[in-house]
Amino acid sequence: MNMRSRDLTSPSMARRHTYKELTQMQRISNNAGEEMSIEELYRCRTERGELQCHRINAPDGMAGELIINIPVNEKNLSIEEVFVDRKFRNTGLGSSLLDFAEKTARILGYQNVELRPFSTDPLIPDRTLHEWYTKRGYQPDGEKMCKKINTENSRVII
């Protein structure tokens, strides 16, 4: 499969929840005072529309993932995670995932996109990620990095 030929907004990219999963998420949100696992909390936030997870799948597994936080009544869209599998690095996939998050922010009327760059890969130091985001227009803002959203149109192709 040619990764660049897929449009990130394709409905097949978004994970669909089964009825059983939705029922479980409803139970969790009704018992929010109880202690939750990370997975349960993630499911609850996803059900409420606060989190969106976009996965790019390859024939042998996941190529990349973008998790964005869409807060209500705030000026910034937050990127929770940008992940690209080692086999797909330096192909433009990470940049396309960032572009998609920025386009989403623009469409929803957010003024900024923010993130906390951190590496989960021991081969990639946090400093390298800071440089990568800086090349894409993100500026340090305390522990976060932030990019102002402009109004120009963009199309994200992977």
Q: Provide the pLDDT for residue 98.
A: 94
Structure tokens at 146: 């932030």
Q: At what angle do helices 38-47 and 19-30 cross, to 10 degrees?
A: 100
State the Cα–Cα distance between residues 28 and 33, nearest whole angstrom.
Answer: 9
pLDDT tens, N- to C-terminus, the chain (158 residues): 334 333 443 333 334 444 454 455 445 445 544 566 666 666 666 666 677 888 888 888 889 999 898 877 778 999 988 999 999 999 999 999 999 999 989 988 889 999 998 888 889 998 999 999 999 999 999 989 999 997 555 444 44
pTM over 0.85: no
Q: Provide the pLDDT for residue 9.
A: 39
CATH of segment(s) 3-10+49-148: 3.40.630.30
State the Cα–Cα distance between residues 69 and 112, nearest whole angstrom.
Answer: 12
Q: Provide the pLDDT for residue 61.
A: 86
The number of CA neighbours under 13 Å toward the Cβ of 15 is 19
Residue spans per domain, the chain: 3-10+49-148
